[in-house]
Amino acid sequence: MPSLSDLRKVSNIETLKWELLEEESAGQDGNTWWYNLSYDLETGEGSYLYKMDPGTKSKPHLHEGPEEFFILEGDLTDSDGYTYKKGDFVHLSSGSLHYSTTVTGCTIVVTHRGKYIFTDN
């Protein structure tokens, strides 16, 4: 049986090596970044850290399962005009379709329990 230390992954937000999300960053003045904590691309389940530079927009997408996120820093406005702020913990049910923008930039923790699919709107 593996020891607890064999099963542990610790990441510190102050020393992360963020990965640029090129497809989401294309055509924008700012960039979008992520750090994968446990997200599985095949199942669409897991968690990651997500960071948007000021003035950027995420691509429109549909969630096949629930999404939850916690705003660590900054602001995030959904496509319906609702603005989240630092400290907000959000649950979006399966079937949500949205994109998000940020004025000041943001860093968030995201958890998915199902895949998301990029859409045209």
- Could you tell me the residue ranges of all domains in the chain? 29-118
Residue 121 predicted with pLDDT over 80: no
Q: What pLDDT score does 120 carry? A: 80
Q: How do residues 42-66 score in pLDDT, each as one tens digit?
A: 999 999 999 999 999 998 889 999 9
Question: Is residue 17 within 8 Å of 49, Cβ to Cβ?
Answer: no
Number of helices and strands in the chain (H, E): 1, 11
For residue 18, what pLDDT band results from cuts at 50, 70 and 90?
very high
Fold of the domain built from segment(s) 29-118: Jelly Rolls (2.60.120)
Sign of the alpha-carbon torsion through 20, 42, 38, 48: positive
Q: What pLDDT score does 73 carry? A: 97
Residue 40 predicted with pLDDT over 90: yes
For residue 82, what pLDDT band results from cuts at 50, 70 and 90?
very high
Question: Is residue 41 within 8 Å of 33, Cβ to Cβ?
Answer: no
Find the mean pLDDT for residues 62-83: 95
